[in-house]
Amino acid sequence: MGEKEINIAISTDENYAKYCIVTIVSVKETQKDFDKINVFVLSKNLSPKTQKLFQDLNTENFKVKLIDISTIDVSSIKIDIPRKRTLPDLTYCRVFIADILKDIEKILYLDCDVIVKDNLLPLWQTDLTNYYFAAVEDHCSESILKKHKLSHKKHYFNSGVLLMNLKKWREGNAINKIISFVKKPYVTLKFHDQDILNFSFDDEDILFIDKKWNFQQYFYKKDFPKCAIIHYISAHKPWNLFKIKVYYRSYYWNILKKTAFKNEIYKYYLANIFLGLFYIGYKTYKNIKLHYRYKNRTL
């Protein structure tokens, strides 16, 4: 594989297929420096109609390949977390990518809640010789490590964007490292497979890269102009119409307009109007409340 050919993996089921397609189209619209782009969609129980939506994205140099992972058993690493919703098996499949894509040595894994907005070539050319993967530190890294009392680790990464060295993953028996961690009796997790990946590897196994490659929406806004990948972390997704704490929502809408779901854009415009009116009303209420509080103090 030449330098100008990139492999990307993403996973989805029927419920998330729409958002997955938006992410893929954001890649297709922005990556002009690659001669060939291969997108491997790890999927399960997709309807024929949805499969066609993915297949319609194919061009001569842009290939979307559906990989059925129904036979992949994730029970060896799956942990039920008290008071947390159970995630589908697909969530854990990134751990098994090296076994699923046996002929691939390097891959960029993306979650379905990201939008690619700039050239990925510099990221793809990152040297991973001595690392299992490259990742960006999570915006809550310090508090998470403190909560888990992990003094031996200095960084906690966000797993929504991972540049993975699958060759080393196989040679270093990464799966065994992960299974060994999961079997420890004291394991308590909050963020499912993200915690598993973080705590199964030492800091020196991971190459921490610039936040521009996984710009989590609550990072400082001053750093946004140089970001290449927007990650809509938390429950506040751009497709959840009445979630207020969603930043950079317009980037998602702009890509949505270039997909088979472009006719749904009116919903987002209506939601935007509603949120604008709500914000104006809220600010007015706060100002009136502040005014009367000040007035009562002066009486």
Q: Does residue 213 contact residue 229 with C-beta atoms inside 8 Å?
A: yes
Task: Give the residue-averaged pLDDT of 259-268.
Answer: 84
Q: What is the pLDDT of residue 84?
A: 45
Residues 99 and 110 in one domain: yes
pLDDT at 5 over 90: yes
Nearest Cα to 13, choosing from 84, 68, 77, 83?
68
How far is Cα 8 from Cα 106, in angstroms, rounded to an integer? 9
Residues 171 and 243 in one domain: yes
Pairing of strands 106-110, 157-165: antiparallel
b/e map of 67-87 (b: 16 or more CB within 10 Å)?
Answer: bebeebebeebbbeeeeeeee
> Residue 240, Cβ neighbours under 10 Å: how many?
13
Residues 183 and 277 in one domain: no
Residue 96, phi then psi, degrees to nearest 5 = -105, 10
Q: Does residue 143 contact residue 114 with C-beta atoms inside 8 Å?
A: no
Residues 76 and 154 in one domain: yes
Residues 159 and 298 in one domain: no
- Number of structural domains found in the chain: 2
Q: What is the pLDDT of residue 75?
A: 61
pLDDT at 11 over 90: yes
Residues 109 and 185 in one domain: yes
CA distances from 290 to 214, 284, 286, 296, 298 (A): 39, 10, 6, 10, 13
Q: Give the CATH number of the domain where residue 88 resides.
A: 3.90.550.10
Grade residue 91 by pLDDT with cuts at 50, 70 and 90: low
pLDDT at 12 over 60: yes
Q: Does residue 174 contact residue 196 with C-beta atoms inside 8 Å?
A: no
Residues 144 and 230 in one domain: yes
Q: What is the DSSP letter of 135?
A: E
Nearest Cα to 132, choosing from 179, 86, 166?
166
Q: What is the pLDDT of residue 37?
A: 98
Share of the chain above pLDDT 90, in %: 51
Lowest-confidence segment of 5-9, 83-87, 106-110, 178-182 by average pLDDT: 83-87
Residues 269 and 121 in one domain: no
What torsion, rounded to 10 degrees, do the Cα atoms 234, 240, 244, 250 define? 100
The pair of three-digit structure tokens given for residue 25, joined into one six-digit string: 């189209």
pLDDT at 31 over 80: yes
pLDDT at 85 over 50: no
pLDDT at 259 over 90: yes
Residues 81 and 222 in one domain: yes
How far is Cα 111 from Cα 276, in angstroms, rounded to an integer? 29
| Range of the structural domain that residue 273 is part of | 263-299
Q: Does residue 11 contact residue 42 with C-beta atoms inside 8 Å?
A: yes
Residues 52 and 190 in one domain: yes
pLDDT at 86 over 60: no
Residues 204 and 297 in one domain: no
Q: What is the pLDDT of residue 296?
A: 63
DSSP H helix total and E strand total for the chain: 10, 10
Residues 159-214: pLDDT tens digits?
999 999 999 999 999 988 888 877 776 556 667 778 889 888 989 999 999 999 99
Provide the residue count of the chain. 299
User: To the nearest whole number, what is the mean pLDDT of the chain?
Assistant: 85
Residues 125-171: pLDDT tens digits?
999 999 999 999 998 888 777 776 666 678 999 999 999 999 999 99
Grade residue 83 by pLDDT with cuts at 50, 70 and 90: very low
Residues 278 and 154 in one domain: no
- Is 153 or 47 the better-scoring residue by pLDDT? 47
How far is Cα 273 from Cα 255, in angstroms, rounded to an integer? 20
Nearest Cα to 154, choosing from 201, 210, 186, 217?
201
